[in-house]
Structure 1
């Protein structure tokens, strides 16, 4: 088996998360509310819950009886033990996202539910663009500064690759306003979401480059009031079930007993 690329500097990520402030985790509050709404719709009682997270204290307060595990490359989950596994805004730091999902699926009992929230590809697109243009203008080069984040179709495909039944992916873009780009970057540090990429430049970013990025940001991504700037956080929710015989199964090809033309009330036109 191929070794996954070392995308994330786990030591740096841990340091950044340790410095995160509880009052800055508003995106986790959004995800917790979204999970709660979806679990109400499922209308099932879950008695054995596991949560994969980089912020154990936050999620332990939401689910006091849950097993909390870190989002390490190898998850500390027991096989076929849980009827609900939650994965909370951590996939963008995973060296092997498919491997994370496979481990979660294996940890579920048959017909157990998996819910994950992940940042989508539109997240921080404004900051990504502004930093890239500023770095090219000031240094003549380009370096990785924001973690790669998957598009909704790609993330939905990961569920299928991981072996989940009935996979669904849907996204919600959130628009957050800030006084300026510096306030946004400060907020990202308070969230523990500053740059933890292994290939990042490990020296301080030149002040003139950040100033240039803030100017580009203000010129191109103003809020409606014209005074503040906007930042996009796209939250993609993934839903899948551990396979079980009791779940709806697709019919084998050719087994239909009713013609599609009859169901649609139209005439069938044979192909030449």
Structure 2
């Protein structure tokens, strides 16, 4: 998971990196000179131009044409500079907008994580849905992956089995049921997002999914979910085989991911 996350971060850095103005202008002028030279050479070849008459005198009309050509070159250079500056300004604005979106995402992320750590089951459920919504709205893949990692980390917390309906353990039983509801909501959201086609809104396909050591204590519907891309790990996970996984068709995937079906 670390390798793919680093590659996503490096890709985002490359996308937001800006060249220095001097380099950008120099390359733009060089490209313009090469293009102009190529066009001039092509015209010379097409017109079958043999040689330039060096004995011809410079009359007023020719001088005026040269002046117009000079002004045209200056105007073209100015337009080229304006184009480079406008492009750079656009990239700077895009980078600023991305930073602002990242800042807002970070603030919402902190609030959602605080909710996930609450003692109230209802607040934790709100935190789960908030993190799932943040993953959907994340401005880049690395931030989406962070939200998914937090949800997976919650599922990896130590699992406490049901103490039963004994009145002496009623409080523990209610606590188990509340935590079970939160866990099942996370698993349901994972199934919902991984069954959406890759590249469509709210799809998590292509993101890493680390369910190492997770206990699935109920019927979870993964029908139509696709885990074909990204790094997926069920290593050490135990529980019922999720719906949508027939044991025969899912056996190669289960062996690779380390899932241990109990029934």
Normalised by the size of structure 1, how large is the TM-score? 0.27
Q: Which has the larger radius of gyration?
A: 2
Structure number with the higher helix fraction is 2
Normalised by the size of structure 2, how large is the TM-score? 0.28
Structure number with the higher strand fraction is 1
